[in-house]
A and B are shown apart, each in its own frame.
Chain A
Amino acid sequence: MTLQPSAISRRDVLSMAGVLGVALAAPGFAQSSAAPLLTQVDLAVIAEIADIIVPATDTPGAKAAGVAEFARMMVSEWFVLAERQRFLSELHAFQQQATTQHGKAFLELSAREQQTLVGSVLESAERRAPASKEKPPFIVLVKRLTVLGYYTSEIGAAEELELNLVPGKYEPCARSGPDTHAGSTGFRNATFSAT
């Protein structure tokens, strides 16, 4: 095998070790199909959060790129039962927090209120994250799903970033400046972790 520059993220190494554990123990996939799924309201909340993380600017944002639908698919089809349950319960607690703080549902808040709430929850999670051994809170998972879903969508990969599936040449040291759009594909597929 070869080793590319990006090939040794710690997560890769750990996920390899984790996967081996799965391989040797009983896999946890069997129970997943009976698990609860996202409601239309859940989906709408995720769509708003995603669009706050990656908004429309001079290119379309997460909503236009269909990130919520991608997140729904990942949560239902990719997450294992325990991950999905935790994600849903924290998502519902977040919605409850909006109601408690503002007296109305998250979806009924103004754009500014939504942004402030998402910002504060995300910032506090990200402040804790580097030192924390706990599992990533749902807001961090929504962010990861947003980044993955957006930059692998046609809008994110081809409009926001530069998509060149067959470059035809390699320039080892091309110029880059403030207006450069980085390439959206590489040697390796992206990886994702829900833990």
Chain B
Amino acid sequence: MTTREQEFDAIVVGSGISGGWAAKELTEKGLEVLLIERGRNIVPGQDYTGEHQPPWHFPFRGVGDRRAYDRERPVQRQCYACTEGSDHFFVKDSEHPYQQNPQRPFSWIRGYHLGGRSITWGRVVPRWGEVNFAENARDGWAPDWPIRYNDIQKWYDYVEDFAGISGQTDVQYEAAPYGKYLPPIQMNCLEEHVAQVLKEKFPHIGMMSQPTAVLSRAHGGRSACHFCGPCHRGCSTGSYFSSLSSTLPAAEATGKLTKLTDTIVAGLDYDPKTRRVIGVRTIHSKSRVRGTYRSRIVFLNASTLGTTQILLLSRSEAFPNGLANSSGVLGHYLMDHVMGPATRGTYDLFNDRMPVGNRPIGIYVPRFRNLNGKETDFYRGYGFQGGAERLNWTRGMSMPGFGKNFKHALRGPGPWRFALSGFGECLPYYENRVELDEKRMDQWGIPQLRISFQWGENERRMAKDMLDQGEAIHRAAGAIHIERFSELLPGGLTVHEMGTARMGRDPKSSVLNGFNQAHDVPNLFVTDGACMASSAAQNPSITYMALTARSADYAITQLKSGAI
């Protein structure tokens, strides 16, 4: 049953980081935009029910309702941010199932609600550098990126200026160039010490305060961070970038935005005569009422795998294997960042100093390996994230002792500990893929996704180097005790899933062109993580923002010129 057919200039599917940007850019440039979100509406502030709650207000004191998680969120709970106070921003796996290859599992972390994962994201925003865009061509692991750093540089400036990025601007790193930043949130004394040791003993490795989408001072009508700590519970002062605090209000201010929540996109209608998407088919998640919406252009921003699912579902005679998939690469080359391998040093330094206030970020060590060509036994590289802290009361759970002395020892801050956790580039492998499982439907009758993912030999070699380099840094900095954690987490848990509808110069080996426009379907744009042709090692969201703003600008030009 079709309830309505309505015409818009543009339809944006998804309201997370990239969808919010698409809605903002397209409305501000004069288009009437329909934004479709599959999850529920969120009222900023009011729906941040965990924000600023003391621990005793949570029934499980913040640990989370384990048995409910076992039942409802067995995958989502693996993400550190899915816990009491924030678990309502993660889907129930039981209501939104997907299939994993048991030998090649993938943890798909999702948030179905207005704003998507922009509420719970990590907010770390290093830019990609020239090396990252040039590397596919250099080593041949994937087809060349159709763009270079200088194509996107001004768009990084543009989105950073609006989002409000705090970060250091004293050293220009090749694999994390700084941009238009607010002052950094400072490193603490142990971090400064390690940074100094690096300068003296490892001049090729730099360390800085993480570039972050958290405001170090008021910006764009939003307040500076108040250092409460758990950003993933939501931020009623809008002190970090989210769609809800930033892009959606801007889009709404134009008067040109229509929002639909609880509306699932079941597929896109394609007209082979005009080679255009002519309709977006929807199902209301509660009433099950179906609809079709029409627009001149469509932006897919449903998150990497959500977007690819929509394309795979949009089959027609012209595209029997999914819309815009004449290349056959749609669904392939899924990537995430290597995470898990880490080192941790305990330090007997600065015992009369401690951080006060809960800093929402840590340190960033930009990639330092293979910048000028392969010089290790692996390709590409990794960065470190982490930082120093004084242990808190939770150390009491494993600290021997009891009684007055035990209690007194836990009253003060614990020893300093410094963690360096690798975030590594993942090569794009054809076998790491997502497809439709035609036998398993979700509750709306839509075929579920089946995901198959595995780290390769290159990622394992890189992981070893993360441990060796991290240990060498701790040793040089004077750690009294060093621990190594060697396990790679399953794919998906870095929540940087990307690829599966990649950009490229050649329509035979890529889905999208250099402006995120489908080679096969000129009025279709994909600007979320699905578009990525390689993963670099940097946290990707700022790049999605810049690509989205750039693509929206191009789409408008194309519309105006009559090309689409």
Contact = CB atoms under 8 A, between A and B. Distances in A.
Interface of A: 1-8, 10, 12-13, 16-17, 19-20, 22-24, 27-29, 32, 52-55, 57, 61, 70, 73-74, 77-78, 80, 115, 118-119, 122-123, 126, 143-144, 147-149, 151-154, 156-158, 160-161, 163-178, 180-192
Interface in B483-501: 483, 485, 487, 489-490, 493-496
Main secondary structure on B side of the interface with A:
loop
Contacts of B387: 4-5
A163 B414 CA distance: 17
Range of interface residues on chain B? 35 or more
B346 to A, nearest CB: 12
B273 interface: no
Nearest to A33: B67
Given A2-B362, A13-B489, A78-B67, A152 B52 contact: no
A139 B237 CA distance: 44
Contacts of A187: 229-231, 358-360
Interface stretch (B275-283, B397-405, B517-525): B397-405
B255 interface: no
Nearest to A65: B56
Contact of A57 (B75, B356, B404): B404
Given A1-B495, A7-B80, A165 B74 contact: no
B186 A170 contact: yes
Given A16-B493, A77-B67, A5 B228 contact: no
Given A152-B55, A166-B228, A169-B227, A180 B412 contact: yes
Contacts of B124: 2
A177 B359 CA distance: 21
A4 B489 CA distance: 16
Given A3-B386, A19-B78, A57-B407, A190 B62 contact: yes
Given A5-B418, A163-B54, A166-B227, 18 more contacts: A1-B122, A3-B339, A3-B423, A7-B80, A19-B74, A19-B78, A20-B490, A29-B71, A52-B402, A52-B403, A77-B65, A147-B394, A147-B396, A165-B228, A168-B226, A174-B353, A176-B354, A182-B414
Contacts of A161: 393, 411
29 contacts: A1-B496, A2-B539, A5-B387, A5-B389, A5-B418, A5-B419, A6-B389, A8-B344, A13-B485, A16-B489, A24-B102, A24-B105, A29-B70, A151-B394, A152-B55, A154-B56, A157-B56, A166-B226, A167-B227, A169-B226, A170-B355, A172-B188, A172-B359, A176-B352, A177-B352, A184-B392, A185-B229, A187-B229, A190-B394
Nearest to A8: B342
Contacts of A122: 402
Contacts of B79: 1
B485 A182 contact: no
A166 B52 contact: yes
A57 B55 CA distance: 22
Contacts of A115: 403
B85 A57 contact: no
Contacts of A32: 67
A53 B403 contact: yes
